[in-house]
Structure 1
């Protein structure tokens, strides 16, 4: 049975081994060609090997005493990321964050789907695209409210993301979601500045070309894509995995 494993991490900081919790939820391909959510979900606490800062504890509420006797990341990661039968890809919301810790060495080189990037493509009419905003804007079928709580813990967040992934895969192909995920995000509206909130097709050529110099890869990519749509000589840049724009 083909499956995509949704991953969510909570961390103690930005170091390569600073994971303090990993959660997962599988989305599987049925005999009818439809993707569904199965019962394969769970979470492990992870010892990050250093104290958790108050700033990060205030987000996920995982304390040093909670992880003191937990295994280290290198002990936990392989069993979740690469040893599950039938997993053909991994997924996460804003997957660039998870990819910083779930390196190819740990994943066996599995490809990634970013549900944030795919949501921008499939549901561009929505006003916001965070994991929890998508949850309440869309109200995905079958999502049990209590299982998806508390937010900012690894298993509940993976569970919520899996419902978005299921619906994305049933709206677009696996191959298309993987291709979108390999590119910067295609933003449906200008995220900041005097044109904030406008769709890109409402901007003049000079405004679009000004966005080609933006520091944000998603903004540059979206401006280039719109220019290419109009037949301008500018073409979309090659894929950049990092996601920095917050909608």
Structure 2
């Protein structure tokens, strides 16, 4: 008798590290939680997930210890990241994609060589598109604003530890997948973030369609790629005739 067929899955990853810039910084802990397509055609959490400590091969700065509270003695006898990363990042049955909240951070450490060239879904970028009314888009704000069904409060604690954070992110991903296709989430994740509201300046907090032409033009050369992308997208909307009108585009391009 054949064993039951295992579903394809998306694996949510969360890392705790010594800092944000490899190779100067390294991984301390990797956590994961899978999401799979159920028999009823709805996505759901799958399996128990897990976490592993990792020896970073360097001291842990106090400023990062204050965030995740991982001690050097916790990881002194742990394996190296490259010795455990590949089976975690590329599990059997083969996963469709990897996911993380602000996935660009995890992607710095989880390189294509370790992920077998996996596609990534960034739940932060997708939340901007699907839930633009959220007061903020951090993993934890989304948790308490949305109150995802089935999320066990204690299992999602403490924050800033690899498994609890992956577990919370997996609930966001599950709900996203039940609103949009895998392909759509991957496409959004491959682009800069589309910000629902202006982040700073005199128009802070306004929706982009609410700001005037002169303000929009200034954001087109902003140093932040998410701000530039959002301003360019709003310009394109106005170019084809949005709420303000088609004539705006010619003025902005002067």
Q: What TM-score do the two structures reach when normalised by structure 1?
A: 0.92
Q: Which runs of 4+ in 1 moved over 2 A?
A: 13-17
Deviation at 1:183, TM superposition (A): 0.3
Residue pair 2:28, 2:53 contacting (<8 A) in 1 also: yes
Partner of 2:152: 144
Identify the residue that residue 38 of structure 1 maps to in structure 2.
46
What is the Cα-based RMSD across aligned positions, in Å?
1.2
**Partner residue of 2:218?**
210
After TM superposition, the structure 1 stretch with the greater mean CA deviation from structure 2, 137-146 or 26-35, is 26-35
CA distance 1:42–1:210, change in 2 (3 Å): same
Deviation of 1:233 (Å): 6.9
Partner of 1:94: 102
Match of 1:10 in 2: 16
Partner residue, 2:33: 25
The secondary structure found in structure 2 opposite 1:230 is: helix
Deviation (angstroms), 1:83:
3.1
- The answer for unaligned runs of 5 or more in structure 2 is 1-6, 240-248
Displacement of 1:184: 0.3
Q: Matched residues in 2 for 1:129 and 1:84: separation? A: 31
Cα deviation digits, residues 130-173 of structure 1 (max 9, x gap): 00000000000000001000000000000000000000010111
Contact kept, 8 Å, 2:29 with 2:52, in 1: the verdict is yes
Q: CA deviation at 1:84?
A: 2.9
Identify the residue that residue 74 of structure 1 maps to in structure 2. 82
SS state at 2:178 partner: helix
Whole-Å separation in 2 of the counterparts to 1:135 and 1:84: 29
Identify the residue that residue 62 of structure 1 maps to in structure 2: 70
- Give the match for residue 105 of structure 1: 113
* Secondary structure class of the residue paired with 1:195: coil
Residue 164 (structure 2) aligned to one of 146, 156, 169:
156
The runs of 5 or more residues in structure 1 that have no matched partner are: 235-247
Q: Distance in 2 between matches of 1:185 and 1:33?
A: 29
The TM-score, its normalising length taken from structure 2, stands at 0.90
| Distance in 1 (alpha carbons) for counterparts of 2:153 and 2:110 | 28
Larger radius of gyration: 2
